[in-house]
Amino acid sequence: MRIGGLAALVGVALCLLVLRAWSIQILHGPAYTSLANGQAYRTVDLAGPRGAIVDAKGRVLAATTGHLVVAADVAALGEIDSKGWHPSSDGLASLAKLSKLAHVPVPTLVARIRRSVVRSPFAPAVVLPRPESAFTAYLEERASAYPGVKVIGVPARSYPQGAFGSEFLGLLGEVSPGMLASPRYAHAKSGETVGVSGIEAEYDRFLNSGFTRARLRVDSRGRVVGPLELRRNGPALPTLQLTINASLQRAAEKAILHGLALAHANGHADAQAAAAVVMNPWTGGVYALASYPTFNQVAAAGNPSYLAALYKDNGPYPRQLNQATQGLYPTGSTFKPIVAEAALSEGLITPSTPQLCSGSFTLGGYTFHNVEAGVYSSMTLPTALAESCDTWFYRLGDRFFAHGSQGIQRWAHRLGLGHPTGFDVPGEAPGLVPTPAWLRATYHEPWYEGQTINLSIGQGYLQVTPLQLAVAYSALVNGGTVVRPHVANAILRGESVQRLRFKPVGHVKLKDVWAIKEGLYMAAHSPAGTSASVFANFPVPVAGKTGTAETGRGDSDHSWYASWAPADHPKLVVVVLIAHGGFGAQAAGPAARDIYQAFFKLKNWKPTP
C-alpha cells in the first residue's frame, strides 16, 4: 500500500512537471522569449540629427553632417555598479595614454565618461568632442595601442552658405536643467543637444529629433557581448523654411559696410556699427537682417575657443549684439512721420495747416536751432517732411504740450515702439518711449515743455531699434496693421507645406496718412528733398525719410534712413542705421539704395554723379 501510494504521488508530480513545461514552452513561450530578449539587450540613446533650415528660395542655410569625436567604450574601460562607473586598472592605463596624447587630464576624461553614463549607461562616452583631424587620423592608425578608445562620427550642424546668418540662425548646446523647466524645451530630455539662441531655439520643437535609439546585446551580468545596433529610422525630419532671401541678405550685409565706408570718408571715424532691416510691410516677413559688427557662424558653432572669446567681447559694440534688433538709438527725423500721424489723428493739424519753418525756435530762454539756419517760410505737413524742418516740428510738439497731450508717446506705442515687436528671433530689446511717468520714476524729475519739443524730432530719451522702426513704417504703408515681424515661413515635410501664421499685433486707424506718404515721396524726389541726391534718379520710385540723430556726447550723429518702395504700392520697407555715420543722406541713404538695387535686380544701373 505504501509503495503504491508513493508511486501514485511520483506519477502526479511528473504529470505536473510535464504540464508546467508544456505551459512554459507552448502557452507562454512567446512572452518569455520576448522577456528574455529584452533582458539580453540594453537601450542606448545617441545624438540625433536636426532638421534643415532653408531660405525662401530653398537654399540650405543649416544642415546636418557628421564630425569625428573620440569616444570611450564604457564597458571595456571599467564597470558600472550602484554607485556609478569605475575605471579598471587597464582602463586607467588606456586613459592615461590618451591623456598624454591629448593633453587632457585623466580626471577630466573620467568625469566625462561618468557624466555620459548617467545619461545613457551603454552609449559610447565622448571624451574629446573637438579633436583635430590629424589627431583622429593618428588615433585610428594606432587603435590597438589605445584599447577601449575609438574615433566615431556624431551628427553636427553644417553651414553650406559659410559664415552667414549669425543675426538669426542661432547656436546649439546641451540643454540645461533650467532650460528643461521652461515651456520652450518641454519636449526635450536631459542630455539632448538643443537650440540655445536664434531660430534654432525658437523652433527647436520642430528641428530637434531627440535621441536616436539603438541597442546593445549584453550577457547575464550586463557586459556588452554584441555590436551597437541602430533601429530603423523614423519619419524624415521637417525642414524649416525662412522668409530670408540669402542673396538679399548678402546684399544688405555689403550695403551697411558701404555705409560705414562712406561715413569714414566723410570724417566720421567713430562709425563702427550698423544695421539694416528689409521687410515685407504687408506680412512682416523679414527678407534680410544685417548687423555689424557680427561673428562667424561656422566658427562659433565649431570652435569652442572662438565661442568663448565671443562671449567675452565686452566692447562698445560686442559682436554677439544684434544691432538690428538689440541696438537702441534715438531716431532723429525718421520719427517725424510718427509725430505727424499723432497730430493728424488727434486733430491738432490737418495736411494743409500752415506752420512757420524758421532758423530757430526759442523756448524759455533756450533756443532750438534748425539745420538750415537761414530758412523762414510757411509750410504744410508734406513740405515740412520733405525738407525735414526741425522748427516746424518743434512748433508741432509745442501744440501737444499746450493741449496736455501725450499723443506722441501714445502713437509711438501703437505703431510698435517702446515694447518688443514679437519677433520670432529671441532676445530683441524693448526700446523706450519716454513719458512723464517714466521720467518721474526713473530720474525723479518733472516733464518740461522742452522734452516734448525734443521728442517731436526723435531726440531726448527716445530709444528705438531698427526693427521697431521698420514695423512702424510698415503700419504707415499698409493702412494701419502693426505686423509681427518674423523670419520663419513654413514647415516642410516632403511635399507637405505647413505655413506658419503670425497674427498682427494690432490695427490702428490712420488719418490723412496720404499726406505723410506724399511728404516722404517728395523727400526723395523734389529738389529740396533731404534724400533727393540719393534717389531722385533711381529707376524705382522710393519714399523715405532721413534721420540725423544727435548723441549728446560730442560724438558723430547717427545716420538713419527709413523708407519703402515702390512708393505707390510698396513691396518692401528698408531701414538702415549707420551708428555715428553723420547725416542720414550721406551714409544710411546710399546703403538703403544698394539694397533696393539688389532687390529690384538693377545690376547695371549707376547713380548719376
- The reply to whether 594 falls in a domain is yes
| Residue 433: predicted pLDDT | 98
The span from the CA of 600 to the CA of 594, in Å, is 10
- The reply to whether 189 falls in a domain is yes
Of the residues 242, 273, 306, the one at which a domain ends: 242
The span from the CA of 375 to the CA of 383, in Å, is 13
Based on the structure, what is the number of domains in the chain? 2
- The reply to whether 547 falls in a domain is yes
Query: Are residues 283 and 426 located together in one domain of the fold?
Result: yes
pLDDT confidence tier of residue 195, bands split at 50, 70 and 90:
very high
Query: Are residues 182 and 281 located together in one domain of the fold?
Result: no
Query: Are residues 469 and 506 located together in one domain of the fold?
Result: yes
Across 360-384, average pLDDT: 92
pLDDT at 10 over 60: no
CATH number at residue 265: 3.40.710.10
| Residue 38: predicted pLDDT | 47
- The reply to whether 13 falls in a domain is no
Helix axis angle for 336-345 and 513-525, nearest 10°, is 150
The amino acid present at 588, given as its one-letter code, is A
User: What does pLDDT average to over the chain?
Assistant: 91
Asked which of 4-18, 96-110, 248-262, 438-452 is least confident by mean pLDDT, the reply is: 4-18
| Residue 492: predicted pLDDT | 97
- The reply to whether 9 falls in a domain is no
The span from the CA of 368 to the CA of 387, in Å, is 17
Query: Are residues 385 and 460 located together in one domain of the fold?
Result: yes
The span from the CA of 195 to the CA of 488, in Å, is 15
CATH number at residue 213: 3.90.1310.10
- The reply to whether 81 falls in a domain is no
pLDDT digits (tens, 9 = 90+) for 488-505: 999 999 889 999 999 999
Contact between 51 and 43 (Cβ < 8 Å): no
The span from the CA of 256 to the CA of 559, in Å, is 11
Nearest to 385 by CA among 416, 345, 331, 340: 340
Query: Are residues 237 and 335 located together in one domain of the fold?
Result: no
Residues near 253 by Cβ (< 8 Å), separated by ≥ 6?
Answer: 290, 292
Query: Are residues 455 and 592 located together in one domain of the fold?
Result: yes
The span from the CA of 42 to the CA of 337, in Å, is 67
Query: Are residues 263 and 359 located together in one domain of the fold?
Result: yes
Query: Are residues 389 and 434 located together in one domain of the fold?
Result: yes
pLDDT digits (tens, 9 = 90+) for 323-358: 999 999 999 999 999 999 999 999 999 999 999 999
Percent over 90 (pLDDT), the chain: 75
Asked which of 61-65, 135-139, 143-147, 208-212 is least confident by mean pLDDT, the reply is: 208-212
| Residue 275: predicted pLDDT | 98
Confidence (pTM) = 0.89
- The reply to whether 77 falls in a domain is no
Burial category of 315 from C-beta neighbours within 10 Å (exposed 0-12, middle 13-18, buried 19 and up): exposed
Of the residues 196, 221, 242, the one at which a domain ends: 242
pLDDT digits (tens, 9 = 90+) for 518-574: 999 999 999 999 999 999 999 999 999 999 999 988 899 999 999 999 999 999 999
Residue 572 cell numbers, joined: 518692401
Q: Is 173 helix (H, G, I), strand (E, B) or coil?
A: strand
Across 232-258, average pLDDT: 92
| Residue 189: predicted pLDDT | 87
The span from the CA of 77 to the CA of 85, in Å, is 10
Structural domain containing residue 541: 246-298+320-599
Residue 136 cell numbers, joined: 583622429
Query: Are residues 263 and 384 located together in one domain of the fold?
Result: yes
Query: Are residues 364 and 230 located together in one domain of the fold?
Result: no
| Residue 240: predicted pLDDT | 98
Query: Are residues 236 and 278 located together in one domain of the fold?
Result: no
CA angle 522, 527, 529 (to 5 degrees): 45
